[in-house]
Structures are given as C-alpha cells and as structure tokens.
Amino acid sequence: MIVRAPRRFAGLLMVALGLLALAACAGPAGLGAPPAPTATPTVSQILDHAKHAQIKDSTFQLNFQGTAAGQTVSGTGTGTTTTSPNRAEIKLTFTVQGTTVTLDTIADNDGQASYTKLSGLNLPGVDSSKWTKGPLAGGSSLIDTSQFTDFSNVKDAKLVGVETVNGQKVWHLQGTAAASAGDTSASGTEDLFISQDKYYPVQVKIHTTGTDAADVTLTFTGVNTGATVALPPADQISE
C-alpha cells in the first residue's frame, strides 16, 4: 500500500499534465475560451431575410402625429394583418381641432372591398354605428398597412447598430422613406427594428416632411399568434 499510493498519485498527475498540454495545444478555443463571435450580416442580407420571413399574421400598436389638410392631427391605434385571408384592420383614435374621432377601417384585399366606420364627427345622414362598404380605392385600403412592412420601399438603407426593443435584440436599419402617392414633395426617413432570431419586424418608425408631414411609430405586439380579421355582419353594413 505504501508503494501503490504514490504511483496512483503520479498517475493522476500525469493525466492532469496531459490534459493541460492538450488545452495549451488547442489555443484560445481550448478550455474556458468563449465561442467565436457570429459575423454581422450585411444590410442586404438582413432585408432579404426580413422579406422572406413567413409572417401569417401580426398585431401592432400605432402612435402618430402630423398634419393633414393644414390641420394638426395626433392619435393612437391598433392594427391586425393576416395573409390568409389577405386582410388588414386598423382602429384609430385621434384628435383634430379639439374633436376626438374614432376610425375603424378594414381592407379585404381578396374581395377588393373596404369597410369603414367613423364616429365622433356627428355628420348629417351618417349612422356612426354602421359600416360603410366600398371598393378598395386604387386597389388599396384607406390606410395602407403594407407601407409599414414592405421593406422594399426602404431606399439607401444602412445598419445603425444592434439594439434591444421590448426585450428583443434587433438590427436597427435606417433608410429613406418612399414618398406617398400624390405627394412628390414628401421626404423622410424610415427606421426598421428587425429581430435577430427570426427577422420579424419589431418596430417601425417613419418620419416624413412636406405637405402631409408625419411621425408614425408601429410597435409589433405579436407575430404568427393566430390573429384574425373578421368582416362586419351584413346587418351592420350600409352600402
């Protein structure tokens, strides 16, 4: 026993020395070394991933302020989009000239129809409890939600950096916002905050100047959660 104990200790020491030698040969990636950092994707790669993200439905909150027809307008809202069926709904509450107005608009892109319900203005002959149905103006809804998620509209995009929005790590991109139809004087910037894991939109900020200057912020509250957009019942529609 007196002889075996030192031999056992010597054997353990040799094993330990062998492990240390292997670790030394392995270099910085050996024991305890941090993993190699992931390469930052290019702007075009980020946008390409975002364009091809499989988004079936989304919900978001909306804040905006700006001018329309020379009047200052500000408000908040919520929105829902779905791809099958292809629909979008936005509910807005805004103040103009001291009057609070509620606007609910649904775009049924598959059926090429729009539904609008407006309350707060007390217009003669208008039943604020009913929906007004009509064709999609120019093939788009009264409020086109695609302008907030169609990343192909962003020009000269650059990577601002890596940030955290609502607990999610995001790529912050900034580019030039495309001018809206009929307002060639409009110009501005669009900031996109895209999640690093699934490349889903997390937040969109649009700042425009010109005739209808505006600041709009969309904060997404859910993606692919099973959200739906229902069309109004027939007895609640005024043609």
In the prediction, which pLDDT does 15 show?
38
Q: What is the pLDDT of residues 194-216, one digit of tens each?
A: 999 999 999 999 998 887 788 99
In the prediction, which pLDDT does 233 show?
95
In the prediction, which pLDDT does 11 show?
44
In the prediction, which pLDDT does 145 show?
60
Query: What CATH number corresponds to the domain at position 199?
Result: 2.50.20.20
Cα four-point dihedral sign 108, 193, 168, 43: positive
Residue 151 lies in a domain: yes
In the prediction, which pLDDT does 148 show?
60
Query: Model-level pTM?
Result: 0.75
Could you tell me the two tokens for 204?
């969109």
In the prediction, which pLDDT does 107 show?
92
Residue 142 lies in a domain: yes
Residue 14 lies in a domain: no
Residue 36 lies in a domain: no
In the prediction, which pLDDT does 186 show?
58
Please state, in angstroms and rounded to a whole number, the distance separating the CA atoms of residues 200 and 220. Answer: 9
Residue 30 lies in a domain: no
- The ranges of the chain with pLDDT < 70 are 1-38, 137-153, 178-186, 239
In the prediction, which pLDDT does 7 show?
45
In the prediction, which pLDDT does 82 show?
94
User: Domain residues for 94?
Assistant: 43-226
Give the number of domains in the chain: 1
3-state secondary structure (DSSP) of residue 4: helix
